[in-house]
Structure 1
């Protein structure tokens, strides 16, 4: 930008006045052009150089450019030929909807003269849209006693084009019962109506199918089709009646989505289905259907999306009430949107000088400012101002343009630089304002959100913590000052396992200290993800988020649970069998237990607390296997009782006990004889029962003898196979992985084992169990032995490995 030299004398004063007069001179009349929509980029619009009285090469020399106020610039200058061309694809319907005339206004700035020339370009419509119906298929009911001549309003089509390219005619498919009548409303819109020509007979034809075609007047003609399904129903003599013919409501544009706006009400004196009224939209714009929601049963109209006064000022809609038999009534609803001052003024600096000499003369131009507010009325009227103690003033030009000029001579020695604040305030209630700064030489504007010390945090807390205890503290710093640096902390709304996070944790908004609102349980969940937001107190407030992971540490709060052996459900006492011929180390049974905790809190060890005959049995410390410690002798009693304790390795340790009953005998008759000696009878009438018992014992003994013979044969065959394949004894490494199971990091190896006989008895009944004998030892993998893991097994594995046995009731 060039600055004139300082004039001297009267001649210089006259030149200065003439220069200022030229700068303040208003632009010429508007320049008008027209261009069809959908033209290619770079299409010719008008000879702007000719209309400005310039040569094409002068466009660049004189700094001529377009001053555009919209978001997307639609036109550009071609300085080579001096013409105005399109800058991209132009959609008239997107710019002007269905307005009859679509004008785009902007200004041409001649920068060396600081003159603005308004330009208007009319976007001419082409037939690029087909008529469309809001619904693809329309279904309604018509009573069979409906009198001929009855008219049924049909939905009208919508065509985004205007003029002759818009919707011009309707046509109904041929039907002997219906015809089409088109009426033109006061607003010029064609309203199609279907006229009943002859009486309907539901018994002859219950459903009629028709097609309504809407055509425009373009070349070529475009059309859209609506499928109509008319269902004939029985008589209904009372149609619904609205309480009002027209409903009207005014709502502010900042109403929240989901707010109930008004309720329409229609009554029907009929009973049953003929009196049940349902509501629906009729002939509404697709935009209205997206923004509003109508309850079909109550008639409540509520908003689904935010309203915008700048987009629609009034939403007209038609509500249809229909009873169960198909009679309808309609009412109009007008929703007027009230403008609120929700848009702050926009300020744009078109041209600005960042440095000026100190001898700048009064009246020199510093910047050209454009102001715009999207609101209407007083909410859109703006006032632009700067502080009064500065040597500058604002001069208003046309179309909300201002220029900042010097008011008096500047002196660099007194003030080395200025930071000019330009404030634009509208006249709304409350008023909204926007400020911008013009810095001569230096300006500094800086906004900073709060910043956390780390990108993320991890917190560890033991389970069973006390409620209300503080567990962690987060800290964020804000580089701003005063209230912009006052940080408050909040938890971002979220849910965990269907429960809001606010029921688990809380945070002190001032200090950032986290508090536990519940006592956490490691067995329920082990970690919790949450987000902490730090916000400052500025306007608008700035914020930042940080992720925090809360890990719950396990404590020894679960007692070991014994899975095997379990007490029978029939009320008897379970008995394990140990033959008198068993050698030392014979596997009698195995105690299996699990612990819901993890780590060393779930490592289990087994100990023999009490035995009816000490030294006869021993329990594996890590396996829970009950084996014979010495060979059984005849003096050992039939019934042995053992108490086994299962204890974890937590601090403090928790334990559980189980009582085992072991029967010592070589054969079934011995067991029965011993059991018979436990119960005697002096009644001579029991002799017959004793005879039957002896016969039964003889039969069972024969069966058992046959079973033992078969078992010996199988054992000899297995021994012979083992002799042929001695290397199989070292086959532990090839054992299938399915024998190993784990729970919370603890691995256990269970091998199926069985006894010769398991026996239960009480005063009235005895159960003799014949499982397959198996003297194989329980094996533990080398890796488990090296790590000294405590072994446990889940119930599902025990059920899979349960021995097959049969019971005989005596």
Structure 2
């Protein structure tokens, strides 16, 4: 017959009660059998009772008070002259005593887990004099345990982690169950552990509660989490024991046991030749089943005709390889490039090197697409010279531009009039020959900087720009001028030969070796014999001076 928890507890209570009743005489015989003698002059007392422990079964469910034991003194002759008094823990409230017989009963259900024992004091009094006939004695009522508490996992549920690919027997975590029953009495608090869910992957040591791996080579990439149910059963796991369970969530942590792999053996990307340097051409990514640092990788170009033209770096957030341009592309020079690219793990676990190289290769082909480019001048800056005496229509020089595209479209030229507001120059639309359009004056503008435009005939929106610096050469087309208007005063007593004024001249022209001026008096002034002019001949300076002398 299989008993439930409540029926089993009742059975134990009845059994314990029977044992207590059958052992009552034993408790009484534990007292010493001596008498007390009262003599005049001196009193000699022998202890006539010595109390040991009483035992009472916890969780008694009966309707009548539970018999605990009996107090008795040898002085008691059974004639009702002795009464028994009980004091101490639980006296009257829990434990009552029949003052005539000394029988002790428990009036309430007792729980050992709340209080394991009670200390009480007993007295035997003469009913007439109310004086003790025995010294007061202390005794203990101990609550005898029954298996009424199941093991409990106070720290559950548990979470733990263990590296994937761990060998069998690797410790994962230890679980602990506690049982409130008396560990010193019987097997009520002796717990054994077993695993109800989680086989065959994990096991638990019955005595310690240590959970260990039970299968080799568990792969996180196949399954990364397991839910275990662990049972703790008291009574050393025997039938009738109580049990409790807890859950343990075990996560397989990653190790680097997977190399990176490109999803494809080759890739192709088309890019326009006009793409600026440092632009992103493509993003490629090798797949890695690992996570975190174990999935970190680096990329490099190991071969191909694109070395130096392209470079590859890694996006640390996405682990993508980013291909960028290092040099300008030119469709007319090269229409495609081939790159051999390697992806390799940065953190390799030596334990798994036997699985093969932790890297992979792929090929990336980059197709350069033609872009309609503007005409290009043969020189970024043209330098030309022309005399300021040149007649209108004089040829100054020629510029040349061509269409760099494969179509080689014809080019037409024009002058950007924002750089030639006065329209001093013209350009032949077909040949690029630059001529003068009006008279030039070096003294007004010595250098003209103009911009020449070259447009494709088939696509006028494609415009190239060239720059021309035209230097105007000087001719002697300006007469000398006096540096200022002179007005001279002289004293009437001035001495002959005294210099009364120095005069100088300037010239707007710019001869390479400077100006040489000659000074003389006009014919009218030459007839005035009061003044003479001294010419400083041969003095080659920007400003030659003459001195007017008084004679």
| Fold shared per TM-score above 0.5 | no
**Structure number, greater radius of gyration:** 2
TM superposition score normalised by structure 1: 0.27
Q: Which has the higher contact order (CA 8 A, sep 6+)?
A: 2
TM superposition score normalised by structure 2: 0.38
Which structure has the highest helix share of the two?
1
